[in-house]
């Protein structure tokens, strides 16, 4: 069973419906016991980094999440669920993340670029993936596949070895990572139609 963590900041019902459409067995989990009882974990997220970390702390979900990763369970972070894995974010200040992946979350900045008038923040809509490392969720998905994004901040890992895909928006940025049993994406697979459903199906089959 795949446990989708509900901490009040994710579009979890869309994620749940997409997993069901992909043929997966899923449940919404809200407690440490629910996280520990799931076979795989999904951390979705929409909203501010600061509020998300504070809510996870308040609900005492951080240690169970980290425990599940350390135990070897497959983990998928989506959008804010990717950013929360990093050491810190500069969104509305400086806030510590979960520290699973070394690096920072930074804002798009197109200052001084000649193509800046054509680039918008947030980065919103369909864009292509350049697959650098074939993470398990990309099985039977080709580089150049289009997925759906909505974000103003992106991750900057310290170690390039964790980068799974990049995407171009005023230059390449990291659009997904993969480290051991942990995968996370900046885009929304649940909104990415056939390609996104295939990713969720791949995750469910691991």
Enzyme catalytic residues: 79, 188, 190
Instruction: Spell out the residues 6+ positions from residue 201 whose beta carbon is closer than 8 angstroms to its own.
Output: 22, 23, 24
- Other C-beta atoms within 10 Å of 199: how many? 28
Spatial distance between the Cα atoms of 163 and 103, rounded to a whole number of angstroms: 12
For 104, residues 6+ apart whose C-beta sits below 8 A from its C-beta are: 86, 87, 88, 89, 90, 155, 156
Angle between helices 49-58 and 62-70 (to 10 degrees): 90
Helix ranges, 78-183 (H): 80-83
Q: Determine what percent of the chain falls in helix, strand and coil, rounding each to the nearest 5.
A: 30, 30, 35
């Amino acid at each position: 069973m795949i446990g989708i963590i509900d901490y009040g900041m994710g579009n979890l019902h869309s994620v749940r419906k997409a997993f069901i459409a992909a043929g997966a067995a899923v449940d919404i989990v809200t407690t440490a016991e629910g996280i520990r009882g799931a076979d795989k974990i999904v951390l979705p997220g929409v909203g501010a980094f600061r509020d998300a970390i504070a809510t996870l702390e308040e609900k005492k979900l951080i240690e169970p999440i980290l425990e599940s990763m350390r135990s070897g369970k497959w983990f998928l972070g989506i959008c804010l669920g990717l950013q929360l894995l990093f050491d810190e974010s500069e969104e509305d200040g400086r806030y510590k993340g979960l520290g699973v992946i070394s690096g920072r979350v930074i804002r798009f900045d197109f200052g001084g670029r000649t193509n800046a008038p054509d680039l918008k923040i947030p980065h919103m809509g369909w864009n292509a993936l350049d697959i650098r490392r074939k993470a398990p969720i990309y099985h039977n998905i080709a580089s150049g596949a289009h997925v759906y994004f909505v974000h103003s901040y992106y991750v900057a890992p310290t170690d390039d070895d964790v980068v799974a895909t990049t995407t171009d928006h005023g230059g390449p940025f990291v659009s997904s990572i993969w480290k051991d049993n942990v995968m996370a994406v900046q885009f929304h697979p649940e909104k990415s139609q056939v390609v996104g459903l295939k990713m969720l199906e791949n995750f469910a089959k691991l």
